Amino acid sequence: MFQSFQTAVAAARQDGDLYFAALLDRECILEAFGSASSLWKGWLYTPAVTVWVFLSQCLSPDHSCRDAVSRFAAWLVAQGRRACSTETGAYCTARDQLPEEACQRLVCRTGKAVEDAAPPDWHWKGRRVRAVDGSTITMADTAENQKEYPQSKSQRPGCGFPIARIVVIFSLAVGTVLEAAIGQYKGKQTGENSMFRVLHDVFAKGDVVLADRYFSGWFDLALLVERDVDAVIRKHQLRRTDFRTGVRLGRDDHLVCWPKPQRPKWMSRETYKALPGFLILRELRVHVRQRGFRTKSLVVITTLLSPAGYAATEIADLFRRRWDAEINLRSIKIVLQMDHLRCKTPHRVRNEFWMHLLAYNLIRRAMALAALHRRAALAHQFQRNTANPESFPPTA
């Protein structure tokens, strides 16, 4: 997956045109901007053009405004129009006007649209799985960025970059970003699980959340259960596991009861009272084997309680695919170079963050369409071979 995405990005960078102008239509952008589109009335850099050029800048290896504007000028000439000035002032002004909410809506809508167009057999047992992962990114060392996203306290002042924490929710079927959050690295309610709770609205009834042990707290699981959302999450290492207790379902597979802990400070009394007094969860042991490495044994907790409907081997195979989220996030940070953002103000930094995710989704959509075309071509070839057996290659 990482290699194929890297290949797709390399091919996109060789395109001398505005690569994303053909992947994201103008109407989709205007719909996401809503009434804010009137701010660009009469400008050369309309909302659509500004987004296209911004995406081109994120795709560029040097991420410079000058390179992005030069691509736009070449695109205008290719369209039979007069080339614009290569000065970057007008583009930077238009880019600064981009509403963060509109950029976020574009990411969510494009990610969901790709998943909705996926064939049913791309989903796990007919259910939509959401893989969650978190990470950190740095940004330009300016006073404005340092104030909103302070550097790590372990670094001396003036010797570190502003740092932000991010949490991203991926579609396991197609790999697109469905929702994300960016916030401070340190402070109250800045952990990955706290940021994840803000994104719960993206989940629908019947979804399955696939995550690491950072999201395995009692209240994180209970809030998902309240939404009729199932979870497959690695158990936290501080929780003791004894497969001799509970209701045995098989070898290293049993049902356990987790009582409700005391109310945390971040939760309101009303929400706390509405949650059940206990959770019935399923615990099972998963063995992760990787060539050249020692086999790892870990415990997974899930709300998929039925061994008949969800065999232990199926849940184990699903959890191993949690690594897809790690690979997807690495692709965004390393291949698209989002590990360090270049903008000098927090507003621009957040928009740059959303534009990287949008570029990733659009490339993922191109990859999904290519996969569907290959699939259709193979099905057509198979039908032709079936209708004409003589066209099959001779057997050995």
Report pLDDT digits (tens) over 114-152: 999 999 999 999 999 999 999 999 999 999 999 999 988
3-state secondary structure of 137: strand
Taking the domains of the chain in order of start, what are their residue ranges? 2-99, 217-321
pLDDT of residue 188: 74
pLDDT of residue 396: 41
Tokens of 389: 């057996």
Residues 133, 192 contacting (CB under 8 angstroms):
no
Q: Around Cβ 166, how many Cβ atoms within 10 Å? A: 22
pLDDT of residue 349: 95
Non-local (6+) Cβ contacts of 332 within 8 A are 168, 338, 356, 357, 360
Percent residues over pLDDT 90 in the chain? 59
> What is the pLDDT confidence band of residue 84, given thresholds at 50, 70 and 90?
confident
Non-local (6+) Cβ contacts of 165 within 8 A are 134, 135, 136, 182, 183, 184, 185, 190, 191, 192, 195
Q: Indicate yes or no: pTM above 0.85.
A: yes
pLDDT tens digits for range 7-63: 888 888 877 678 888 889 889 998 888 877 766 666 788 888 999 999 999 888 888
Backbone φ and ψ for 329, nearest 5 degrees, come out as: -65, -35
Asked whether the predicted pLDDT for residue 272 surpasses 90, the reply is yes
Residues 129, 207 contacting (CB under 8 angstroms):
yes
Look-up of token digits 């372990």: 154
Specify which residues 47 forms β-bridges with: none
3-state secondary structure of 323: helix
pLDDT tens digits for range 317-359: 999 899 899 999 999 999 999 999 999 999 999 999 999 999 9
Tokens of 310: 């969800």
Q: Name the percent of the chain in helix, strand, coil, to the closest 5.
A: 45, 20, 35
pLDDT of residue 390: 59
Task: Please give the Cα distance from 147 to 136 (Å, whole number).
Answer: 17
Percent residues over pLDDT 70 in the chain? 93
